[in-house]
Amino acid sequence: MKEITKRLIYIEDEQEMIDLVRLIMARRGYDVIGATGGHEGLSLIRQSKPDLVLLDLMMPDMDGWDVYQQMKADESTRNIPVIVVTAKAQSIDKVLGLHIAKVDDYIAKPFSPGELVESVEKVLARQVAK
């Protein structure tokens, strides 16, 4: 039996980062859809109901925390896990993200391919266990 491909949406304003993550995750059998801003990302999330969202915090059109809050306020998207992927890696931001906002994980840029894959697989395994 073939395993169903997991779909990820990566909301990130830098196309090069989307392409890099798509390449890393495709090697592991994941389908990555990129959105270059928060508004586009929210629209894609609502349309395609991904298995997981990778979310940058600092974007020009709508910041990542706004995207996250809108996802969690919407009944149809609130249970989709979110991993914050950001250059904003100060410890206070991580505490806010993991403990106050309750994101599923937090990855600081720059990250290694292994770190990204490990985080995605860990969060998706927790979803299955629920």
Q: Which of 71, 55, 75 is nearest to 63 (CA)?
A: 55
Residue 11 CA neighbour count, 13 Å, CB half: 30
CATH number at residue 96: 3.40.50.2300
pTM of the model: 0.90
2 assigned to some structural domain = no
**What percent of the chain is helix, strand and coil (3-state, nearest 5)?**
45, 20, 35
**pLDDT digit string (tens) for 48-92?**
999 999 999 888 899 888 999 999 999 999 999 999 888 765 555
Burial of 78 (0-12, 13-18, 19+ CB in 10 A): exposed
CA distances from 88 to 21, 125, 130 (A): 18, 26, 30
Domain count, the chain: 1
Determine, yes or no, domain membership for 1.
no
Q: State the Rg of the chain over Cα.
A: 14
- 110 in any annotated domain: yes
Tens digits of residue pLDDT in 3-50: 678 999 999 999 999 999 999 999 999 999 999 999 999 999 999 999
Residue 97 per-residue DSSP state: I
The domain in which residue 62 lies consists of: 7-129
Q: Please report which helix (H) or strand (E) contains residue 16, including its range.
A: helix 15-26
Give the residue among 97, 95, 66 at the shortest CA–CA distance from 83: 97
Which 3 state secondary structure label does DSSP give 86? strand
